Amino acid sequence: MVVFFHLNEPIPYIHNFYRSIVKLGHIGVPVFFVISGYCILLATRHCKNSLEFISRRCFRIFPTYWFSLAIVLAVAIFQKLTLGNNSVAVFPHTISDALKTIFILTKPFGSTTTINWVYWSLTCELFFYFIIGLGLLFGSTAQLFYFIGAISLVSIFIDPNLSAYLFWVPYWHTFALGAGIYYLHSQKLAYYRLTLLLLIFCLVGLYLFHYKMGYYAYVTATFASGILIYLSPYLNQYLNEKVQRLGDLSYSVYLIHVPIGVYLLGLLKNNFIQTHITANILFDSGVYLIVLYISYYIYTYIESPAIIYGKHFIKKRV
């Protein structure tokens, strides 16, 4: 849904059932954050301490991200050579902006413009990892739980408009909801009443920062994702391995679908394709399959080896 949403964002909106459906792709943001909250808590099971957790996340995130930067650069060069201009993105003009782009410290963290639309949510994700890493400094699973609960409570009373560095506040409760569901599933944490209290903090945050602002689709997607994740132990038996394999490729798809699908192949989306629903569906489906195909090789030869190397590297040094 996110991919199809972005494939159609640069072209004029036409009211038909297909464009109306893919327009809802923006709700992929809360789905992404809820899943992340759950999965990151799962990941902490395999980490001895905060340093190991942060190190593993870096090997998991940065190599594939850097490769996606290379793809954006290649597409920009291709456009410049063939069309005489670069409509891909605003590239950093200073060393500071370049470093911020390399280390994903771009908007909304600072003023540096992202060179790929989707990178803003990755910046939020990294900040969530940082908070979890801080919580792991306290040691035990119980203390991490209290830390997440404290952040969830305090952030309810924070006005994110006070500072640009509070960009994460409106999205934290979506992420923490996934963490809360993890704790509901966890057999190591016996105090379910406190977990329910954490979920209440999340609901209050969702009401203040999203429902109250009229972002009803965001809240609905958050609840739906949370329910499906809670039911996942019962639903997994109905998913075959090929469907689950899409989860492995999702990060690569997330990173490259804009430069490949919009910046490059989007140049072929002429007026006929844009205005004829069948042609639009077929074109977008073809682009998605191409992106999926490329993502398979990125996962196989970059992402997966980086994760494996990171585990061995950390095991020797942490």
What is the mean pLDDT of the segment spanning 262-268? 92
What is the mean pLDDT of the segment spanning 76-103? 84
Is residue 268 scored above 70 in pLDDT? yes
Confidence of residue 291 (pLDDT cuts 50, 70, 90): very high
Is residue 187 scored above 80 in pLDDT? no
- Residue 154, CA distances (Å) to 87, 201, 218 in order: 42, 9, 22
* % of the chain exceeding 70 in pLDDT: 97
Q: pLDDT of 12-68, one tens digit each? A: 999 899 999 999 999 999 999 999 999 999 999 888 889 999 999 999 999 999 999
- The structure tokens 């006005």 sit at 159
Confidence of residue 243 (pLDDT cuts 50, 70, 90): confident
- For 103-126, b/e burial (b = at least 16 CB within 10 A) is ebebebbeebbbbbebbbbbbbbb
Integer Cα distance of 294 and 292 in angstroms: 6
Provide the residue count of the chain. 318
Integer Cα distance of 75 and 82 in angstroms: 10
Q: How many domains does the chain have?
A: 1
CB 30 within 8 A of CB 225: yes
Q: Which two tokens stand for residue 145?
A: 């739980």
Is residue 318 scored above 70 in pLDDT? no
Q: Which two tokens stand for residue 107?
A: 């908007």
DSSP 212: T
What local confidence, expressed as pLDDT, does residue 19 receive? 94
Residue range of the domain that includes 138: 2-317
What local confidence, expressed as pLDDT, does residue 229 receive? 93
* Alpha helices for the chain (secondary structure H): 2-8, 17-22, 28-44, 50-83, 95-102, 119-136, 141-154, 169-185, 192-206, 216-230, 232-235, 241-258, 271-275, 277-298, 304-317
Q: pLDDT of 244-255, one tens digit each? A: 788 899 999 999
CB 143 within 8 A of CB 159: no
CA atoms within 13 A on the CB side of 256: 29
Q: Which two tokens stand for residue 178?
A: 């996934």
Confidence of residue 275 (pLDDT cuts 50, 70, 90): very high
Is residue 240 scored above 80 in pLDDT? no
